[in-house]
Chain A
Amino acid sequence: MKNTEYIQIAALNQYAYCSHRCWRMFCAGEFTDNQYTIEGTALHDRVHTTGDIDKEDTWQIRAIYLKSEKYKLIGKSDLIEVVSGEYYPIEYKRGRKGEWDNDELQVCAQALCLEEMTGQNINIGYIYYAHSHQRQLVEINQELRDSAIATIAAVTNLLETGTMPPPSYSKRCKGCSLYSQCLPKAFDKLRNYQEAN
């Protein structure tokens, strides 16, 4: 089956965080809010309330659709800035910089869309961390591009086949809003379980 559906940029981030979570969200249609996701939604609502504004020599465009025909990607940007004709994406995140590189992937995927939409090369992007009020530079280098393209292929395959990646427990499970659906420890617990006679 040839994939004719677009995949959501946000799914890449989820896949890089945990492929099983990505399956639950984008194949099984499950979503549960927790403290972190509610904070995230509130943050994005704030970012998205203003349209495009000129800030001195920086043109800011908020909440526009991003699309790539080449990679079959769609998504929404938080913020695009244009300085001296050069475009770059800024992704807003709650909290501070995490241990995982999934946010970088998301910025890179936005850059791939933006390149196709503007015909320009995008070499940088930013992640704005609401907790520290800091922007962190993301270099859109070849390594990151390769990793984003590989993730796009993996997510495409996941959506096409619907095959569930098995849950497995890691440190990341702690902050996951789908923990009680996924019960990542169940497999191991059950292996050691002896039913009472």
Chain B
Amino acid sequence: MGTVYVTQEDAYIGKVDESLNIKADKKTVLDVPLIKVDGLVIMGRANISPAAISELISRKIPITYLNVNGKYLASIEPDMGKNIFVRNAQWKAAGESAQAVHLTQGFVRGKLKNYRQSLLLAQRRYDLDLNSGITQLSNAIASLEQAKSINSLRGYEGAGSAAYFGCFNQLIRVDNFSFSTRNRRPPTDTVNSLLSLGYSLLRHDIQGALNMVGFDPYLGYLHTERYGRPSLALDLMEEFRPLIVDAVVLAAINRRMLAPKDFITEPVSGAVSLTKEGLHLFLRLYQEKKLSKFKHPVMQKQYTYQESFEIQGRFLAKYLLGEIDKYPPLVMK
């Protein structure tokens, strides 16, 4: 089952025996055994009973609040792990340490390689010419090895991302959607609104995995400290963005599962978001993607993407604790 998303305004989330029970208009809309739940996301203003909160927390299941557009608001997290060694190693590596540089290199390399792989696949599949973007990505990837500072790595990350998003419109294979440039806060077109929503969901999942491993999600390496920003979650998200979110967004659009009628534009601000039906569909697709299996290139075993969040978190801890001498970002062929 994985994560339960509650999108119904004024829904009531309660605990009935060993299950999570969600009611709307006094009728049960979902009753799911707690053993199958590993996350709860509340979008909008649903209510949750104290009994449900304490049961979820005692099962170490995080509760995340998003607004109706998917913007992150807050979360109720189980007690942080007792693994002081992990947090100690995480903080010791803060700043410009050799470990921080290595990890940042890994996060960026993972993301850019996965970006390039997406472009290569699309080029073949749709018979496109994406060579200039692919070359720019390859150059950025090659430069990462020589980069000695985190700032220069950020530079290559920026260049690589720009190259990828420069091609993104060509990955959209239907007429009624288009992409020109990444915009957010708020996203002002349909494709950006989907990307933003997807990244918000992904970040909730990665942050949950990092908490489980024992990290402090607010101290990152590629992303610097800023009040209220879970930098380490944003760091670890990088390698997963194209694999999960971009893939889901493109599938939803190209397979015509979403149409422009599934979006609403706010007056004045121009903020674009999904309708309720569109949101349900997107959440289902995201959930299906997370639960899909793939062969983990390092472990050589089948895992779901959901499981791989934790595995990458474990690798991160192992690297920082000196158990392994390099961090292997998830790079897919």
Binding site for B on A (CB under 8 A): 27-30, 162, 164, 166-167, 180-181, 183, 185-187, 189-190, 193, 195-197
Contacts and interface: CB of A to CB of B under 8 A. Distances in A.
B49 to A, nearest CB: 25
A183 B314 contact: yes
23 contacts: A27-B85, A28-B82, A28-B84, A28-B85, A28-B86, A29-B84, A30-B83, A162-B85, A164-B323, A167-B323, A181-B314, A186-B299, A186-B314, A186-B323, A186-B324, A187-B323, A189-B299, A190-B298, A190-B326, A193-B298, A195-B297, A196-B331, A196-B332
A164 B298 CA distance: 23
Contacts of A180: 310, 314
B185 interface: no
A28 B297 contact: no
A196 B81 contact: no
Given A186-B298, A189-B299, A195-B331, A29 B310 contact: no
Given A164-B323, A196-B333, 19 more contacts: A27-B85, A28-B83, A28-B84, A28-B85, A28-B214, A29-B84, A30-B83, A164-B85, A180-B314, A183-B299, A183-B314, A185-B299, A187-B323, A187-B324, A195-B113, A195-B329, A195-B331, A196-B297, A196-B332
Given A28-B214, A181-B314, A196-B333, A189 B81 contact: no
A193 B298 CA distance: 6
Interface residues of B, number: 28
A29 B81 contact: yes
A49 B299 CA distance: 44
Nearest to A185: B299
A29 B85 CA distance: 10
A31 B86 CA distance: 15
A3 B167 CA distance: 62
Contacts of B329: 195
B314 A29 contact: no
Interface string B290-320: 0000000111100000000011001100100
B243 to A, nearest CB: 13
Contact of A193 (B113, B117, B328): B328
A59 to B, nearest CB: 39
Nearest to A187: B324
B324 A190 contact: yes
Contacts of A29: 81-84
Contacts of B315: 186
B114 to A, nearest CB: 10
Which residue of B213, B318, B333 has the most chain A CB atoms within 10 A of its CB atom? B318
Contacts of A181: 213, 314
